[in-house]
Chain A
Amino acid sequence: MAILDIEDLSKTFGTGELAVHALQDIRLSVSAGDLTALLGPSGSGKTTLLLCISLILEPTSGAIVFDGNPIYRNGWTDTDLRRLRREKIGFVFQTPNLIPFLTVRENILFPLELVGITGHKAEARVMELLDYMEIAHRSNYVPAILSGGEQQRVSVARALANRPKLILADEPTAALDTVRGKKVMELLKKIAREHQTAVITVTHDVRMIEGFDHVYHLKDGQLNNASGVI
């Protein structure tokens, strides 16, 4: 079943002669457990597409259907977007973007508390994720004293906390060396396979997407080569 369906999605910045068509008639379908990569040069519209999928940036036209529910159809539907994000979408950023004044444990606990999971249940989930990411020994450290790779693993753990249906990763390996970058990508693949979580990652590094199910190229706001499995 498709987790995400995007139909004829367009985004235009500005109007008239100054209009910039950042996205044009994008069609994309992502199913549970799919590993999808969006490739493209700078300015091709990758981040704009990710922002639209993240329900942060309102498209100009088209439709977004998430888990069978229409979210956008030439305008936002009355869905609580922030609630949808915290319950069904996990985010992994270019830089880990952990909350610096919270410990590793608290960074993972935070999204759980946002959906009302507290106490033993929350602690158990945090410990499960820390073990899964092999960072349990760092649970009471603040992010500043972790390595870049460790921070990114915490970031992935935080994204997984609420068992999301979709993980959006914005160049998750950009700030890491090749070895650590590959480890993070392997982790995302493992998550997709083991948890049936759909993963969409934006990247410009083709070496990092080996084994992905779908690879899309974005150029001048248009999605093509939408079939290739590397």
Chain B
Amino acid sequence: MDLAIRDIAQHKGKFVATVIGVGLLFAVVLSMNGIYRGFIFEGLSTIQVTSPDLWVVERYRGGPFNEQSTVPEFFHYSIEALDGVEKASPFIFYGVERMIHGNRKRFTIIGYDVFGGLGGPQNLTAGRQIQQAHYEMVAHAKLGFRIGDKIPLGLHSYTVVGLFKNGTAPDGEPLVYLSLPDAQEILYLRDNEEVRNQRERLQQTLTGPGLLTPTQAKKYVSLLDPNIHTVNAQLVNLTPGADPAAVARQIENSLYFSVYSNDQQINLMMQGRLAMPRKQLLLFRIILLIVSVVIISLVIYTFTMEKIRSIAVMKLIGAPNRVIVRLVLEQALLLTTCSYVFGLGVIYNTYQYFPRLVQLTSFDDTVTFLIALAGAIIASSLGIWQALKTQPALALGGH
């Protein structure tokens, strides 16, 4: 006779309520696992999707994701001329927030050389890559755009020609790919009033000390507009067999930039921008798991203590310890397993509604289950210890 099952069958309501309660707690633990993984995945997503052999950024900067970096756009010609470099192309990256068709949307724009350059979108789920120099975009499906939609950004509208699901900015915002000149225009676009004011200030600077006449100054002012031909990084692919470290050293020494491999770029993010929130999430995850195990322990202990008189009767009528141990342990394992399965069901049916990526992995799921199971066994050992030290005399009313 399976005493644990009999007990549960007689207290179905209580068992189900406990399973739901503990199961929801497991759902929170599992969601935190997914949030943690999703946070790292999104944090590294652009690097992983872009994946050049080398990232060339402003000297002494850990850019372009971990730190701001500005490099001249046309240096890709100089880089491409170096030994071991197969391809170099400019890359620009910045976040924006715009009202689009009445909805406020936050996203990150990536500008790249659409004619064979590096850093373009990967694995399109619909449509095609950008094929024109201007006014086309490829957007993350999360933004809700459809192929053919016209999206107003700055002075122009851009036609959505492709969609993808793979790739977000480090802060989880969806990416939008534009041609490099379009991205630069949107980034550096100033309103007319600002342009007029700046020209007026420049005019006064040139004419004030008597350097130029107002007529001469007016002629030069329009030529001295700020340079918008800057990018955040140059992406480099190497020729087969080239030594990445040697090429990197060459770029650093001759062109005075900082150079990182893709792995180094990932490390920069992991040790830098992602480090603190990652530790925070990890700590929260550990605390949640501990809380879950403690709650399971208390539930199992309470379950055992409710049966302590019955256990005393069992001992008095001669039940061996293994019968009592099995009763407590089996209930602990059943409760933990049912709760875990319930929690797993909840999170696997809801994770897609979270605003940011929740990346559930079978490794995390298994480890969480094993920890919970170990917790349940430890917890039940407390109940078993209590059960085994129960005096059979308790059944007789004590002595």
Which A residues are within 8 Å of any B CB, using their own CB? 47-48, 50-51, 54, 56-57, 82-87, 89, 91, 93-94, 97, 99-102, 106, 109-111, 113-114, 142, 158, 170
Contacts and interface: CB of A to CB of B under 8 A. Distances in A.
B316 A56 contact: yes
Nearest to A159: B317
Contacts of A114: 317-320, 323
Between B11, B310, B323, B396, the greatest number of chain A beta carbons within 10 A of the residue's beta carbon is seen for B396
Given A57-B393, A85-B317, A111-B318, A51 B399 contact: yes
Given A85-B317, A101-B310, 11 more contacts: A54-B316, A54-B396, A83-B318, A99-B310, A99-B313, A99-B314, A100-B10, A102-B1, A110-B317, A114-B317, A158-B317
B317 A47 contact: no
Interface in B294-326: 307, 309-310, 313-320, 323
Contacts of A56: 316, 391-393, 396
B309 A97 contact: yes
Contacts of B392: 54, 56
B141 interface: no
A51 B1 contact: no
Nearest to B391: A56
Nearest to B320: A82
Contact of B11 (A48, A57, A101, A106): A101
A89 B317 CA distance: 8
A47 B396 contact: yes
B397 A170 contact: yes
B320 A142 contact: no
B62 to A, nearest CB: 64
A85 B399 contact: no
Contacts of B323: 114
A85 B6 CA distance: 24
Contacts of B313: 93, 97, 99
**Across the A-B interface, the 9 shortest Cβ-Cβ residue pairs:** A86-B318, A85-B318, A101-B10, A101-B7, A99-B310, A97-B313, A82-B318, A56-B392, A51-B399
B316 A85 contact: yes
B56 to A, nearest CB: 72
Given A56-B316, A170-B396, A110 B10 contact: no
B323 to A, nearest CB: 7
22 contacts: A47-B397, A47-B399, A54-B392, A57-B399, A82-B315, A84-B318, A86-B317, A87-B318, A89-B318, A91-B316, A93-B395, A99-B3, A101-B307, A101-B310, A102-B3, A110-B1, A110-B314, A110-B317, A114-B317, A114-B318, A114-B323, A158-B317
B319 A86 contact: yes
The DSSP consensus for interface residues of chain A is helix
Contacts of B10: 100-102, 142
Nearest to A88: B318
B7 A51 contact: no
The CB with the most chain A CB atoms within 10 A, among B307, B316, B318, B397, is that of: B318
A174 B3 CA distance: 29
B388 to A, nearest CB: 12
A101 B6 contact: yes
Interface in B362-399: 391-393, 395-397, 399
Nearest to A112: B1
Contacts of A113: 1
Contact of B396 (A85, A93, A102): A93
A193 to B, nearest CB: 24
A109 B318 contact: no
Interface string B118-143: 00000000000000000000000000
A50 B1 contact: no
Nearest to A171: B397
Nearest to A111: B317
A144 B309 CA distance: 15
Most buried by A among B9, B315, B320, B399: B399
B157 to A, nearest CB: 71
Interface in B4-21: 6-7, 9-11
A140 B64 CA distance: 74
Contacts of A51: 393, 396, 399
A86 B313 CA distance: 11
A201 to B, nearest CB: 13
Contacts of B393: 51, 56-57
Nearest to A170: B396
Nearest to A97: B313
A126 to B, nearest CB: 12
Nearest to B8: A101
A115 B26 CA distance: 41
Nearest to A48: B399
Contacts of A110: 1, 314, 317, 319
A215 to B, nearest CB: 21
A102 B6 contact: yes
A100 B396 contact: no
A110 B1 CA distance: 7
Contacts of A48: 399
Contacts of A57: 393, 399
A142 B314 CA distance: 17
A50 B1 CA distance: 30
Contacts of A100: 10, 310
Contacts of A85: 316-318
Contacts of A86: 317-319
A111 B323 CA distance: 12
A87 B320 CA distance: 12
A122 to B, nearest CB: 10
